[in-house]
Structure 1
Amino acid sequence: MHSQEKVEGFYFKARYMLCVMMTLGIMNVYSLRNGINVAILAMVDTSSNGTTSATNYSYESECTIFNETETENSKVGKFQWTISQQTLVIGCYYYGYMFMNIPGALLAKRFGIRIVLGLSGLLSSTLTLLVPVLTHQSVYLLVAIRIAIGTIHGVTFPTAITAWGLWAPPLERSRLLSITLAGYSMGNCLIFPMVGLIVTAASWEAVFYITGSLGIIWSIAWLSIIYNSPAEHPRISPQERKYLQESIGTKKSSAKRPIPWKRICSSPAIMGIFAAHLSDNWATLTLISLVPMYRARVQGFNTKAAGFLSSLPFVLRVVMNVLWGITADFLIGSKVFSTLTVRKISSSLTLILAGVALIAVAYLGCNTLPIVILLASAVGILGMATSGHCTSYLDVAPIFSGVIFSISNMFNSGIGFAAPQVAGLLLVDNSLASWRKVFWLAASISVLGGILFGIFASATLRSWAKEKETIDDKNGQLMKTTDP
């Protein structure tokens, strides 16, 4: 069956509806996760009677060109939190998130993607509504609820990868996964400027009331219209069900199939994926977590401007995510490049280029326009990596993709709290020299990950991950199996 065969006037609408809803769900996760990265600028008192006197940490910007007009930035907050407490608030989300990845994959495998993602969204959104009340009581209650929300969100990406192991045919993997994972860039595109506007128009508390309410609405919609697999979907056409089951090779459920932990953990190809995933996470999370603070504390922008400028890189990332995902599938399908070559271009090359961009940022000082362009370029380039190491999980072991991803994401989630905490240690003052260390570290890790993926990457199906029912695809390189 041709990959573009029409089904009832549409192109395989069931999996595209899943793609839309999952993208919106990941947008919701990132709005709940990262809204505080900008809101905290309006929550903390940075006046001489606030954080500065408590910590001997100066927020006076070296880039004084903005200071006369952007004074809003220095005296709007109520809470006298130290820099360590601020980085703790930002990074603590990942304490629980880290440890729920493998359980999340197992839960999705056992109970299905519908109930796992639906309940995760509902619970985390409800807890978000409580953030303002608890924050006014204690910074450590805020930390506790952020840990709880992160724990609940830990199931998200393993479940998403599990879903596409069941729903994504080989020649559509790059685009479907790229669009889905573009949800986190879309979420950042929206949440950073939205928080700035909400804080300016209302209050920082309103940020959590609005994002929590939107999350509840999404959760109800997800539970109402999404199903676990093509076999269970009551409204999918027979043609689409047959096409997906035959092209993916999942006619029967693999929920009870033993997980080959030893083969997974000893595979060089999977180790290469893990290395790229780690370096991508460190660079991206450094940018997501700390760039709003860099905009405000170093470049001197107020909360609204810092939020808007911090969103721009993710606009480019969305564009690169989607366009390169489509391009990658075209290059593979038309046999311009092999699957492996496309994966290496998508991850190895982009991780190295992103590292170079971050190093350049470290030496641009107060030159705002070049910094904006280079940060946008670094984040945008990393969007291509979705068609690289992220999609490689589906290439090498689609039926275990959620579990394998969860192993990687568990360790990589540690970066979510490690990156801000390490940055807090490096930022001994608010100088450009201290920030230069933060960017150099992220750049070095990014380049190393790109090199390791280039050495160990593979795009062939492992024999231990092959379904007995799998049939050969017309594109032999996608269905070929190998070890280890």
Structure 2
Amino acid sequence: MPLGCGVECAALMRQQQLAPAPRRRLAHSPCSMQAGRGAAEGATPHVKARGAHGGTPRKGSHEKSPVSAEGLSAASGYEADALTAPQPQQQQPGGLQVPTLPLLEGLVSDTVAGAGVGAFGWQKRWTVVALCFVAFVLCNLDRVNMSVAILPMASQYGWDAATMGLVQSSFFWGYLLTQVAGGVLADRYGGRLVLGLGVLWWSLATALTPVAAAAGLPALLLARCLMGVGEGVAMPAMNALLAKWVPGGERSRSLALVYSGMFIGSVVGLGASPHMLNAFGWQSVFYVFGSLGVAWHFVWRSQVRSSPAEDSSLHPEERAYILANTPNSSREKAGAIPWRALLSRREVWAIILTHFCHNWGLFILLTWMPAYYNQVLGLNLTQSGLLSVLPWVAQAVMANVAGWAADGLVERGVSVTTVRKVMQSIGLLGPAFFLSQLGGVTSATGAVLCMIGSQGLDAFSQAGLYANHTDIGPRYAGVLLGLSNTAGVLAGVLGSLATGFLLQAGGDAGGWSNVWTVAVGFYLAGTAIWLSMSSGEKIFD
């Protein structure tokens, strides 16, 4: 319809006192261009139907959804929190007011409001996700540098193997302490503050590591423990922050991108540290990586706020879009944590127990993979280090594939519960299959392919249990992740210790076979727990 004709029709309707049904134009998102994802929650009482990521998931969301009263498709699997509220009429240059009729709203709003201001281009929430991604790159950069630097440090300070193990484990002493505390603080005071202070804290501890090592072993152990304290808050604080910033239809891929930062950090750290060490000494890896975190902190403070409501620079269209597609409870800071209610639900225990089972095998691969290449396949440490990087590259790539696939399934109407169960089952059964094949592998190529397959499919967990905390309890997303990650870290510590005992008892050949058998058993147990106990529906308001 020509624009002039539309203006005349609108003027005639106004003269006849016929009110056209107004319809608000939704902010566009390149990540989710679904119509009908809702307007600002509570904007109008006409219809109140909440979706899985913006409220309570509706039953039968795997079936094709009907068309809403205003012709908006609800087939995404999430119903809008509310249909659109009436908008003010647009003012034309000549003084004539034009209602935003459905056939004209695109032309009018683009012409009058100005296209590209908030509806198109770079969105502020992507900045938040990107900076979280960089924080997680730094997290593993600062974690793996010790695994490279410890050899020259041991030579310089005369450490034996037991002392080296003590230094390596001291990080986890602090890391275990702040998982739950980090979630509680983030839910109460905001993820921006907690994550920002956490990165600054662990970066300063990393940069001071050479000074602490020169002061003596107790000072070094304290520095590594303090570094663990800082890193322990990262995951729960990030989860609490993104629960407020990321719309439901973008959650899986956003979390997958952030978590893939850890894998990329491992790749970069393991690849760059040997060259820095040879060129500038082992101290350089701590000074350089620690300084990067301090610089990140200042960018973070200037660019990020704890919620869209607190960000005055956020475009109104993007704010409305985010608020329409995130649950009300995620925007409220948690008061007293209902521990009894949280720990009485099987859905919470599904996350905690599955996280334990998942991390048993994951941490074995993280800490023992170079030793396996060296002891079983006869590769030197340089070759082992190079081959150890490849599975992490696969995991970084596949985590993002899984995130986009999960969001795509949800947008096509598959229930969130089904998506989470499918993704996590792949993340457990895939590694179980490939690790079970290692007993018959005798070549380095075969072993590396099994490791790549194992960690590549393990990455589907990023769209499974790692995305499930916000599904079931958006207000307590940080606390829930803190609880489950405490179990995950505990599994890593116990798994690494158990691997040492199994290798000592069974030798290089038989011992490794026992290691893989136990890991496969935990993967299978985790699958059974997840399929029988987990849910993608919101449990806590």
User: Where on the TM-score scale, by shorter chain, does this alignment land: which range?
Assistant: 0.7 to 0.9
Aligned equivalents of 1:219, 1:431: Cα separation in 2: 45
* CA distance 1:84–1:424, change in 2 (3 Å): farther
Aligned equivalents of 1:83, 1:437: Cα separation in 2: 24
Displacement of 1:345: 1.6
- SS of 1:192's equivalent? helix
* CA distance 1:42–1:359, change in 2 (3 Å): farther
- The equivalent of 2:101 in structure 1 is none
Whether 1:268 aligns to 2:346 is yes
Displacement of 1:260: 2.3
- The equivalent of 2:135 in structure 1 is 25
- The equivalent of 1:38 in structure 2 is 148
Whether 1:424 aligns to 2:534 is no
* CA distance 1:369–1:461, change in 2 (3 Å): same
* CA distance 1:279–1:174, change in 2 (3 Å): same
Whether 1:115 aligns to 2:144 is no
Displacement of 1:26: 0.9
**1:182-201 alignment to 2 at 5 Å?**
182-201=260-279
* CA distance 1:454–1:85, change in 2 (3 Å): farther
Aligned equivalents of 1:214, 1:165: Cα separation in 2: 26
Q: Percent identity?
A: 28
* Runs (5+) with no aligned partner, structure 2: 1-25, 35-115
Question: In 1, are the aligned partners of 2:472 and 2:537 still within 8 Å (CA)?
Answer: yes
Report the AA paired with residue 285 of structure 1: F
Q: Larger RCO: Structure 1 or Structure 2 (Cα < 8 Å, ≥ 6 residues apart)?
A: 1
* CA distance 1:131–1:305, change in 2 (3 Å): farther
- SS of 1:459's equivalent? coil
- The equivalent of 1:453 in structure 2 is 530
Question: In 2, are the aligned partners of 1:87 and 1:420 still within 8 Å (CA)?
Answer: no
Question: In 1, are the aligned partners of 2:273 and 2:285 still within 8 Å (CA)?
Answer: yes
Whether 1:355 aligns to 2:432 is yes
* CA distance 1:433–1:87, change in 2 (3 Å): farther
| Per-residue CA distance 1:425-465 (angstroms, 9 max, x = gap) | 33328723333333333222122112211111111111xx2
- The equivalent of 2:387 in structure 1 is 309
* CA distance 1:252–1:107, change in 2 (3 Å): closer
Task: Identify the range of structure 1 (201-210 vs 102-111) with the bigger mean alpha-carbon deviation.
Answer: 201-210
Aligned equivalents of 2:278, 2:438: Cα separation in 1: 29
**1:37-76 alignment to 2 at 5 Å?**
37-44=147-154
Whether 1:149 aligns to 2:227 is yes
Q: 1:406 aligns with which of 482, 499, 502?
A: 482
Whether 1:216 aligns to 2:294 is yes
**1:438-449 alignment to 2 at 5 Å?**
438-449=515-526
| Aligned residues between the structures | 430
Q: TM-score if structure 1 supplies the norm length?
A: 0.83
Displacement of 1:24: 0.5
The alignment's C-alpha RMSD in Å is 2.3
Q: TM-score if structure 2 supplies the norm length?
A: 0.74
- The equivalent of 1:377 in structure 2 is 453
Report the AA paired with residue 372 of structure 1: V
Aligned equivalents of 2:165, 2:528: Cα separation in 1: 30
* CA distance 1:196–1:176, change in 2 (3 Å): same
Report the AA paired with residue 186 of structure 2: A
Q: 1:10 aligns with which of 114, 120, 124?
A: 120
- SS of 1:92's equivalent? helix
Q: 2:468 aligns with which of 392, 396, 400?
A: 392
Question: In 2, are the aligned partners of 1:197 and 1:304 still within 8 Å (CA)?
Answer: no
Displacement of 1:347: 0.8
Question: In 1, are the aligned partners of 2:239 and 2:477 still within 8 Å (CA)?
Answer: yes
Aligned equivalents of 2:252, 2:187: Cα separation in 1: 22
Report the AA paired with residue 448 of structure 1: A
* CA distance 1:436–1:81, change in 2 (3 Å): farther
Aligned equivalents of 2:210, 2:436: Cα separation in 1: 37
Report the AA paired with residue 390 of structure 1: Y
Aligned equivalents of 1:385, 1:154: Cα separation in 2: 20
Question: In 1, are the aligned partners of 2:424 and 2:463 still within 8 Å (CA)?
Answer: yes
Aligned equivalents of 1:141, 1:298: Cα separation in 2: 36
**1:236-385 alignment to 2 at 5 Å?**
236-250=314-328, 253-296=331-374, 298-335=376-413, 337-365=414-442, 367-385=443-461
- SS of 1:217's equivalent? helix
* CA distance 1:183–1:7, change in 2 (3 Å): farther
* CA distance 1:212–1:399, change in 2 (3 Å): same
* CA distance 1:368–1:264, change in 2 (3 Å): same
- The equivalent of 2:92 in structure 1 is none
* CA distance 1:309–1:7, change in 2 (3 Å): farther
- SS of 1:460's equivalent? coil
Question: In 2, are the aligned partners of 1:90 and 1:420 still within 8 Å (CA)?
Answer: no
Question: In 2, are the aligned partners of 1:22 and 1:160 still within 8 Å (CA)?
Answer: yes
Task: Identify the range of structure 1 (275-284 vs 150-159) with the bigger mean alpha-carbon deviation.
Answer: 275-284
| Per-residue CA distance 1:177-233 (angstroms, 9 max, x = gap) | 111111111111211112233234443322222211222222222122111100011
* CA distance 1:378–1:38, change in 2 (3 Å): farther
* CA distance 1:420–1:42, change in 2 (3 Å): farther
